[in-house]
Structure 1
Amino acid sequence: MKISEMKQTLAGLESVNFRLPTGEHLPAHFHVTEVGLVSKHFIDCGGVERKETVANFQLWEAGDYDHRLAPQKFLHILNLSERILGSGDLDIEVEYQQATIGKFGLTFDGADFVLTQKQTACLAQDACGIPDAQQFALPQLQAASCCTPGGGCC
């Protein structure tokens, strides 16, 4: 999700709810403790220099159970953050404390903002000699020959 999409979505909401990839909702008393600009300048394992920049939201919960972040307040925070984020329409990354700080992508399903799982990947697979994922495909099993009585699979 991009900043512009979030602003547009917030403008039409009556409440702000976040849901984890597991389907569990964040407590209604969560806080947005940071909105920041995160830039990553790196070299991948193939020697290619890369840069990534995202808007980062940090969500946090405390014992103040009466706290509720209204959509208009969240929109106000985003508008204030333009001083830091600039005018670019950045992708959003969300941090949320679990066993360690989790990093998530973000989507909206029509009712809730949904934290999405992020995955690592090799950005230079051809330079590293990693074969195409299609080479790892499992052979298709015939249902008739698998796990039938006397078929020998159990």
Structure 2
Amino acid sequence: MNISDLKQALTGLAAVNFRLPDGTYLPAHFHVTEVGLVRRHFVDCGGVERREAVANFQLWEAGDYDHRLAPQKFLRILQLAGPILESDDLEIEVEYQQATIGKFGLAFDGTDFRLTPKQTACLAQDACGIPSAAFALPQLQVAGCAPGGGCC
């Protein structure tokens, strides 16, 4: 999800709700404590120089149980962050405190914002000697069913 998608989703909501990947909701009294631009400039293990930029949100909760972030207030925070973010096309990364700071992607299901799992990956598999088959999903074998057989 990018910033423009988020703004569009917020305009039609009565409340802002976030769900973790396991389906549990963040407490309703969460705060958006930061909205910023994070740039990474790095070299992958194959020696290729790379750059990336994301919009980063930090979600936090405190003991102020009466706090509620209204969609209009969230839109105002995004408006204030506009000059820093530079573009509404930036993908969003969300930080949320768990046992350590967790990083998540963001999706919207029409009602709630879902924090989606992020995974690490080797960006230079050829240089590392990792065969592409190491990342292929195994074929499911069903009795009497074969690929192209029309039973699936």
Q: What TM-score results when the alignment is normalised by the length of structure 2?
A: 0.89
Structure 2: give runs of 5+ residues left out of the alignment: 145-152
Q: Is the 8 A contact 2:32 2:60 kept in 1?
A: yes
Give the distance between the partners of 1:142 and 1:68, measured in 2 at CA.
50
Deviation at residue 130 of structure 1 after TM alignment: 0.3
Change (3 A) 1:132 1:15: same
Q: Give the aligned partner of residue 68 of structure 1.
A: 68
Give the distance between the partners of 1:108 and 1:54, measured in 2 at CA.
17
Change (3 A) 1:71 1:138: closer
Q: Is the 8 A contact 2:54 2:91 kept in 1?
A: yes
Give the distance between the partners of 1:46 and 1:112, measured in 2 at CA.
39
Deviation at residue 120 of structure 1 after TM alignment: 0.2
Give the distance between the partners of 2:138 and 2:46, measured in 1 at CA.
28
Aligned-partner SS, 1:45 = coil
Deviation at residue 137 of structure 1 after TM alignment: 5.1
User: Which amino acid is 1:35 matched to?
Assistant: V
Whether 2:21 is the aligned partner of 1:25: answer: no
Structure 1: give runs of 5+ residues left out of the alignment: 145-154
Count how many residue pairs are aligned between Structure 1 and Structure 2: 144
User: Percent identity over the alignment?
Assistant: 74
Q: Which whole-Å deviations, capped at 9, do the CAs of 1:60-85 have from their partners, x for residues lacking one? A: 00000000000000000001001211
Q: Is the 8 A contact 2:4 2:88 kept in 1?
A: no
Give the distance between the partners of 2:33 and 2:140, measured in 1 at CA.
49
Change (3 A) 1:95 1:130: same
